[in-house]
Structure 1
């Protein structure tokens, strides 16, 4: 019987394509005689929280249903660029007995006994930190650019006076608030109430 696996791919921008990731990981699955039962992709910044990422939420939901035994990724940064969020996701999958295969390392996070090897743990933490460092470098460059623009009297960010009061904003979405309080996930609220992911995430943070 073939081992059921999920392919997980992510790109940061709408203009980018994750087909290469899927194709490469399908070749891995074919070589290892795995059965790909799910292909999950998303176009979103890896620095977002796991709760804000529909792909991650789908991955966890299917994992809890026992749909697959392994997750195939091209590299750890596809899971995320936030050190904390990435390690949290890995831990959640491990708790469900699901191993993660990283193509660039040709290595899995769990061995045949379902245990995390010391070598894998070190590599995972190091690569997560490297991914986080890339994000911090980008933020530093953006801030530097904004400071330069400010010095040249160029306004950056939202138009002035565009920020809504919290209470006024929340009053527009009573059903979403009720859904969140009932324990619905961000993804479920998006589908149930026909609002954007960003709006649901903002409401959830505010309440």
Structure 2
């Protein structure tokens, strides 16, 4: 009976991984797998590296300790968006003798066909990420062309003058921000403009 770790990830705080969890636990039951632990990163992009995804990092540390025989995930894009990271992840798992099951793609990397398919899916995940980036950049360019101002709103002129005066008087950045009720970044921006 294989020991399985389930990895779940959602990108935003408004999402939850309950559907992923329920379906993967059902697959484990049908397949006769024993789920040893569920690792869940909540509100973290798949583009983030291992160091920014605490559950993923813990999963990899437990893999090195050989706490399980297989990792089960909902989809390839739950694991990451970069082909290089995905291939590295798969190589690390296989180096440890651990297989990967991807529910949505029906991939089991314990087979040669599953290994090949996983690599192709990684290419498509990276392509999708690049397309999203292009659409966002095109939207920003369109907004600029329409004369829309992007970024944070400017502070009132009197507040900016007060920040300048406080900086000239030698006050610290955090003290100015707190006393005037503005963000530290606002004070830093005004200081850079001096």
Per the TM superposition, whether the score is higher than 0.5 is yes
**1:144 and 2:143 equivalent?**
no
SS of equivalent to 1:38: strand
**1:64 and 2:64 equivalent?**
yes
1:86 corresponds to which residue? 86
Give 1:157 shift: 4.2
Distance 1:106 1:145, change over 3 A: closer
Q: Which runs of 4+ in 1 moved over 6 A?
A: none
Would the aligned equivalents of 2:108 and 2:115 in 1 still touch at CA under 8 Å? no
1:38 corresponds to which residue? 37
Distance 1:139 1:105, change over 3 A: closer
Q: Quick one: distance in 1 between partners of 2:145 and 2:100?
A: 47
Report how many residues are paired: 153
Uncovered stretches (5+) of structure 2, i.e. residues with no partner: 155-194
Would the aligned equivalents of 2:6 and 2:35 in 1 still touch at CA under 8 Å? yes
Uncovered stretches (5+) of structure 1, i.e. residues with no partner: 112-116, 161-207
Larger radius of gyration: 2
**1:10 and 2:9 equivalent?**
yes
1:28 corresponds to which residue? 27
1:177 corresponds to which residue? none
Q: Quick one: distance in 2 between partners of 1:146 and 1:59?
A: 37
The TM-score with structure 2 as length reference comes to 0.73
